[in-house]
Amino acid sequence: MDQAMNPSVQVIVLNWRTASLSLAAAEAALRELEGIAGGVTIVDNDSGDGSYDILQAEAEARGWLASGRVAVVQSGWNGGFGAGNNHGIRQRLPDGGRPDFVYLLNSDAIPQPGAIRALLVRLITHPEAGIACSRLRGPDGEPHQTAFRFPSVGGEFEAASKTGPITRLLRKKVVALPQPGQSCPVDWSAGASMMIRTDVLDQIGLFDEGFFLYFEETDLCRRAAAKGWQTHYVVESEVEHIGSASTGMKTWKRVPDYWYDSRRRYFEKHHGRMGALWATAAFIGGTGLWSLRCLVQRRRTEIPEGHIGRLMRHALRRQPMPVHVEKGRP
């Protein structure tokens, strides 16, 4: 990286009822920003549990606020992942300056040595890349699946059927890519550790706040791709990620409504109303095939309670969801 360029990075840590984790993430980010211009913005997404006061007090006690490298802000309402990060992006750097890059870091994610710099180097040395994402692993060292193709009708059928011959037939539609062994372009990757050129956000807008949670980073990467920007998966940037610390997704017995809403929004936005219906039909068809296989093999399907019925109801309801993309920056 050419140090003469002195690019600036705004790290955004979005908190929702995970104050201790957010502080750990911010501390790791500050360590990794050593020698890099910029700062950290901690956004409390209207936790309502005293998180904002805890974050503010700790940031002051640790000298972060006095250093000018950290700001703690309150979003004022919990509009979800995209809305919370948009609020942080609008704040700019703690000193009010415009960053060259925005780095989104989940509260339950800890960048390992060199992780932030690796993303920065990737974007600087690859001008075709507008977004760069890290290689995530769990605390146990197990890699997380975070490199993907964009969802499609064929991908929905393959994912639901979980059947080898179908996967081989639709191999170019499989959403989850094999774990990359080297840095490379992908359609999209997880937003838990994602660096974005500010110029890209100026061009395509911020997160679509119609997504409360899930599919928002997929949508952002797709909008960037539509303008000619690539998303890169960077293996040199390693981040330890607990995963689902705020949402409890790992223990879901019943899928929340916002997941269905986000899924439908994504497909309708990028494939149209009929495309979204076909995607749902494909998923239901694939699920039927999987269920039949489980019946023959006398095994549990592990499908969440009421999943297919709720998926159908959300897909068929008459009221369309308005599409709103937050444009521009302050």
Residue 322: per-residue pLDDT: 61
- The type of residue at 54 is I
**Residues 291 and 188 occupy one common structural domain:** no
pLDDT above 70 as % of the chain = 92
Across the range 133-157, mean pLDDT stands at 96
Which residue, 206, 228, 245, sits at the end of a domain?
A: 245
- CA distances 212 to 193, 276, 296, 312, Å, are 18, 18, 38, 20
**Residues 285 and 230 occupy one common structural domain:** no
Q: What 8-state DSSP symbol labels residue 209?
A: T
Determine the 3-state secondary structure of 62 from DSSP: coil
Q: Per-residue pLDDT tens for 156-176?
A: 999 999 999 999 999 999 999
Residue 173: per-residue pLDDT: 97
pLDDT band at 320 (very low <50, low <70, confident <90, very high): low
Residue 14 near residue 85, CB atoms below 8 Å: yes
Residue 25 near residue 107, CB atoms below 8 Å: yes
Q: What is the domain range of residue 12?
A: 3-143+179-245
Which residue, 221, 245, 269, sits at the end of a domain?
A: 245
Across the range 181-200, mean pLDDT stands at 98
- CA distances 2 to 6, 113, 118, 179, Å, are 8, 19, 13, 30
CA 177 to chain CA centroid, nearest Å: 16
Residue 6: per-residue pLDDT: 85
Judged by average pLDDT, the poorest of 73-87, 174-188, 249-263, 286-300 is 249-263
Across the range 28-35, mean pLDDT stands at 98
For 142, counting Cβ atoms within 10 Å of its Cβ (0-12 exposed, 13-18 middle, 19+ buried), the class is exposed
Residue with tokens 């068809």: 285
Is the residue at 305 inside a domain?
yes
| Its pTM surpasses 0.75 | yes
Q: How many residues does the chain have?
A: 330
Residue 248: per-residue pLDDT: 46
328: left (phi over 0), alpha (psi -120 to 50) or beta: left
Is the residue at 153 inside a domain?
no
Is the residue at 325 inside a domain?
no
Q: Is 1 or 318 the better-scoring residue by pLDDT? A: 318
pLDDT band at 321 (very low <50, low <70, confident <90, very high): low
Phi, psi torsion values for 137, nearest 5 degrees = -140, 155
Is the residue at 230 inside a domain?
yes
**Residues 123 and 261 occupy one common structural domain:** no
Residue 7 near residue 116, CB atoms below 8 Å: no
**Residues 131 and 40 occupy one common structural domain:** yes
Is the residue at 91 inside a domain?
yes
User: What residues contact residue 27 under an 8 Å CB cut-off, 6+ apart?
Assistant: 62
pLDDT band at 211 (very low <50, low <70, confident <90, very high): very high
Q: Is 246 or 95 the better-scoring residue by pLDDT? A: 95
Is the residue at 99 inside a domain?
yes
pLDDT above 90 as % of the chain = 90
The total number of structural domains that make up the chain:
2
Residue 231 near residue 132, CB atoms below 8 Å: yes
Residue 167: per-residue pLDDT: 96
Which residue, 187, 218, 245, sits at the end of a domain?
A: 245
Residue 185 β-bridge partners: 232
Residue 323: per-residue pLDDT: 55
**Residues 231 and 269 occupy one common structural domain:** no
**Residues 183 and 111 occupy one common structural domain:** yes
Is the residue at 301 inside a domain?
yes
**Residues 196 and 301 occupy one common structural domain:** no
Residue 105 has pLDDT above 90, yes or no: yes
Residue 246: per-residue pLDDT: 45
Alpha-carbon dihedral sign for residues 248, 249, 254, 255: positive
**Residues 241 and 283 occupy one common structural domain:** no
**Residues 309 and 223 occupy one common structural domain:** no
Residue 53 sits in a domain whose CATH number is 3.90.550.10
Residue 108: per-residue pLDDT: 96
pLDDT band at 44 (very low <50, low <70, confident <90, very high): very high
CA 44 to chain CA centroid, nearest Å: 17
**Residues 7 and 102 occupy one common structural domain:** yes
Residue 188 CA to residue 46 CA, distance in Å, equals 28
Q: Per-residue pLDDT tens for 236-269?
A: 999 999 975 444 454 557 899 999 999 999 999 9
Element (H, E) at 133: strand 129-137
For 263, counting Cβ atoms within 10 Å of its Cβ (0-12 exposed, 13-18 middle, 19+ buried), the class is buried
Q: Which two tokens stand for residue 251?
A: 């223990």
**Residues 212 and 281 occupy one common structural domain:** no
Q: How many CB atoms lie within 10 A of CB 230?
A: 18
**Residues 195 and 53 occupy one common structural domain:** yes
Residue 247: per-residue pLDDT: 46
Is the residue at 284 inside a domain?
yes
pLDDT band at 317 (very low <50, low <70, confident <90, very high): confident
What is the residue-averaged pLDDT of the chain?
A: 93
Residue 319 has pLDDT above 70, yes or no: no
Residue 254: per-residue pLDDT: 86
Residue 195 β-bridge partners: 103, 132
DSSP 2-43: -GGG--EEEEEEEESS-HHHHHHHHHHHHHHTTTSEEEEEEE
Q: Per-residue pLDDT tens for 110-123?
A: 999 999 999 999 99
